[in-house]
Amino acid sequence: MTTTPTAVGTRGAPRGAAGTRPAAPTGRRRRGPTASQWAAVGFAAPLLVYLVLFYAYPLWRNVDLSLHDYTIRAFVQGNAEFVGFENYAEVFSSSTFPTALTNTVLFTVGSIVFQFAIGLALAVFFRSSFRLSGALRAMFLVPWLLPLIVSASTWAWMLNSDNGIVNSVLGAFGAEQINWLTSPDTALLSVTIANIWLGIPFNLVILYSGLQNIPGDVYEAASLDGAGAWRQFWSITFPLLRPVSLITILLGLIYTLKVVDVIWIMTTGGPGDASTTFAVWSYREAFGTGQPDFSPAAAVGNVLILVALVFGFLHLQLQRRQEDS
């Protein structure tokens, strides 16, 4: 790490001496792999084998599933018919598709915006160490530590239409009964709220560690220049935290896109399709009915993978442009 940082705020940072150093080894490399390079390959091999076996193969298999018509019979007998993109056509023309698309966007964007905002607010709050701040911060991690089945079931109980604690509290203030999980209007909102709660600790931890890396003298200088807390946040914390924020949001995006468990436990994607996202739809096709439909399920899964990849590359692009500037 001898290069000078190219963080936002330090425009046109000069490249350090390290930038030119690699020129020398390239000449040597042309003469064939050195012993140390062979060793590098050797060390990488287990990882590569692992990646091929547990990532590349399943991915290929998923594509394979989506391009064939795997009925249960074909699944057992291994003679699935090749149907090209028929499964994809079926998925895109399904009446569930527009609902699932809207729900996925609302669920993902809603979750990420609030997870990030609340996570950042808490991170800034905990930056100024006070008594018991460590203990309090640890308590915020509880949602992360609980098994999902526990937290999702608890949320489902709390939001129960007739006996849930949320409705009984609201009822105490004279509000009408809200059918959180059983009304098509609020089901998606309810699972989003639960998912936001689950995602806050992740955002808090990453953003908090990002804050630790902002040098204190920047703030000192800012306060000498007369910047208030609000100004400091928008002019120092937020821009300097941008690289960390980006990766937090990207990871959050990918985690949120593939959430099945929370929604499945709370609403099974219902009522009807009201809280069905792509991930839930894929799960339901494959395992939610008496008749596993692996092919359309894999097709929906692949669409999700593509969406996630697009955002991954978008992030890379942004990152690169930021470094170039």
Residues 11-70 that bind another protein (CB under 8 A): 54-59, 61-62, 65, 70
The least distance separating another protein from the CB of residue 66, rounded to whole angstroms, comes to 10
Asked if 73 is part of the footprint of another protein (rule: CB under 8 A), the reply reads: yes
Which of 183, 227, 233, 261 is in the footprint of another protein by CB under 8 A? 183
**Quick one: which segment of 27-35, 121-129, 221-229, 282-290 binds another protein (CB under 8 A)?**
282-290
The least distance separating another protein from the CB of residue 135, rounded to whole angstroms, comes to 27
Asked if 250 is part of the footprint of another protein (rule: CB under 8 A), the reply reads: yes
| Pairwise CA distance, residues 147 & 116, whole Å | 22
Q: Which is nearer to another protein, 143 or 184 (CB)?
A: 184
Q: Which is nearer to another protein, 1 or 224 (CB)?
A: 1
Asked if 5 is part of the footprint of another protein (rule: CB under 8 A), the reply reads: yes
Q: Which is nearer to another protein, 143 or 292 (CB)?
A: 292
Q: With 0-12 CB in 10 A as exposed, 13-18 as middle and 19+ as buried, what is 259?
A: buried
| Pairwise CA distance, residues 146 & 131, whole Å | 26
Which of 121, 166, 227, 251 is in the footprint of another protein by CB under 8 A? 251
Asked if 179 is part of the footprint of another protein (rule: CB under 8 A), the reply reads: yes
Asked if 232 is part of the footprint of another protein (rule: CB under 8 A), the reply reads: no
Nearest in space to 258 (alpha carbons), one of 298, 304, 300, 315: 304
Q: Which is nearer to another protein, 61 or 231 (CB)?
A: 61
Q: Report phi then psi at 38, rounded to 5.
A: -60, -40
- 137 neighbors 204 (Cβ within 8 angstroms): yes
The least distance separating another protein from the CB of residue 139, rounded to whole angstroms, comes to 26
Asked if 316 is part of the footprint of another protein (rule: CB under 8 A), the reply reads: yes
Which of 25, 162, 172, 174 is in the footprint of another protein by CB under 8 A? 162
Which value, in Å, is the radius of gyration of the alpha carbons in the chain? 25
The least distance separating another protein from the CB of residue 145, rounded to whole angstroms, comes to 21
Which of 24, 76, 172, 224 is in the footprint of another protein by CB under 8 A? 76
- 279 neighbors 304 (Cβ within 8 angstroms): yes
The least distance separating another protein from the CB of residue 100, rounded to whole angstroms, comes to 14
Token readout for 222 is: 């800012």
- 17 neighbors 25 (Cβ within 8 angstroms): no
Nearest in space to 78 (alpha carbons), one of 61, 59, 90: 61
Report helix angle 242-257 to 187-212, nearest 10.
150
Token readout for 10 is: 């330090």
| Pairwise CA distance, residues 159 & 120, whole Å | 27
Q: Report phi then psi at 240, rounded to 5.
A: -70, -20
- Site string (119-158) toward another protein, x via CB under 8 A: -------------------------------------x--
